[in-house]
């Protein structure tokens, strides 16, 4: 269970949001809404522990995430607005490296299956540098098919994707929710994701 209380986020001397709190339990989906620059990405980075909130606490299974960081990180998959891919490595190499770094054991078959699932298998042997924006995004998102973590934090996962891929990804997230996972997501698109509990958090300063 992930609980946030009274989070306050300052960037420079600008207040992005204050008194943000939520409780997310197994099978829960939270959609974060807000206009551009309202602090959606910052909230997601705070949830991951990449950013320290000015005030407020965030606890995972009753423990502040700062204290349980390695244990917490092993339960977390974060896909930010940066893809985290190396242009000089192939899609396959990128996917395997990021999955191994997250502690998953992946062989070539599992990685290829993940790339096939998101429809990018024919680019598996190409360096990521030659792929289009949407294709790169799909390579980054293929990690979700290999992930066994309970908490997914996804920053604009649907941006730059074509309609078919949006549906595939929504199905993947729904399957994760059905397994009892948790997801925090920001999006500007109306995508239907099945979840046991759904909540919306609207950010405004």
Partner 1 sequence: MNQAWLTILKRDLLLAFRRRSDVATTVFFFLMVASLFPLGIGPEASVLSNIAPGVLWVAALLAGMISLTRMFAADFTDGSLEQLLLAPQPLAVLVSAKILAHWLVCGLPVVLLAPLIGLQYALPSEALWVLVWSLLLGTPSLSLIGAIGAALTLGVRGSGLLVALLVLPLYIPVLIFGAGAVAASQHGMSAQAHLSLLAACSLLSLVLAPLATAAALRISVE
Q: Which residues bind partner 1 (CB under 8 A)?
A: 48-52, 70-71, 73-74, 76, 78, 80-89, 93, 97-98, 100-103, 105
Phi, psi for residue 49 in degrees, rounded to 5:
90, 10
Measured from the CB atom, is 4 or 9 closer to partner 1? 9
Q: CB 45 → partner 1: shortest distance, Å?
A: 8
Measured from the CB atom, is 5 or 69 closer to partner 1? 69
Q: What angle do CA 32, 66, 73 make, to 5 degrees?
A: 70
Report how many helices (DSSP H) and strands (DSSP E) the chain contains, helices first: 7, 9
Q: CB 121 → partner 1: shortest distance, Å?
A: 22
Measured from the CB atom, is 100 or 122 closer to partner 1? 100
CB 203 within 8 A of CB 43: yes
DSSP calls for 74-127: TTEEEE-SS----TTSBHHHHHHHHHHHTT----HHHHHHHHHHTT-GGGTTSB
Measured from the CB atom, is 143 or 195 closer to partner 1? 143
Q: Which residues contact 152 (CB under 8 A, 6 or more apart)?
A: 76, 77, 78, 79, 144, 173, 176, 181, 182, 183, 184, 185
Q: What angle do CA 52, 8, 173 make, to 5 degrees?
A: 70
Q: CB 28 → partner 1: shortest distance, Å?
A: 21
Measured from the CB atom, is 39 or 195 closer to partner 1? 39
Q: CB 153 → partner 1: shortest distance, Å?
A: 9
185 DSSP 8-state letter: E
Q: CB 96 → partner 1: shortest distance, Å?
A: 8
Q: CB 73 → partner 1: shortest distance, Å?
A: 4
Measured from the CB atom, is 44 or 195 closer to partner 1? 44
């Amino acid at each position: 269970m992930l609980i946030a209380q009274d989070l306050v986020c300052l960037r420079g001397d600008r207040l992005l949001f204050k008194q943000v709190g939520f409780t997310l339990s197994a099978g829960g989906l939270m959609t974060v809404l807000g206009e551009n620059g309202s602090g959606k990405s910052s909230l997601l980075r705070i949830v991951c522990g990449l950013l320290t909130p000015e005030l407020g606490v965030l606890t995972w299974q009753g423990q502040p995430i700062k204290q349980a960081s390695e244990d917490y990180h092993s339960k977390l998959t974060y896909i930010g607005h940066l893809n985290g891919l190396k242009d000089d490595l192939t899609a396959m190499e990128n996917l395997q490296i990021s999955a191994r770094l997250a502690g998953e054991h992946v062989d070539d078959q599992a990685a290829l299956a993940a790339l096939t699932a998101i429809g990018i298998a024919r680019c598996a042997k190409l360096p990521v540098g030659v792929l289009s924006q949407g294709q790169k995004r799909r390579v980054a998102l293929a990690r979700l098919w290999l992930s066994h973590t309970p908490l997914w934090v996804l920053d604009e996962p649907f941006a730059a994707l074509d309609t078919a891929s949006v549906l595939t990804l929504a199905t993947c997230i729904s399957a994760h929710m059905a397994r009892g996972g948790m997801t925090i997501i920001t999006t500007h698109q109306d995508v239907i994701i099945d979840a046991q509990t759904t909540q919306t958090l609207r950010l405004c300063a």
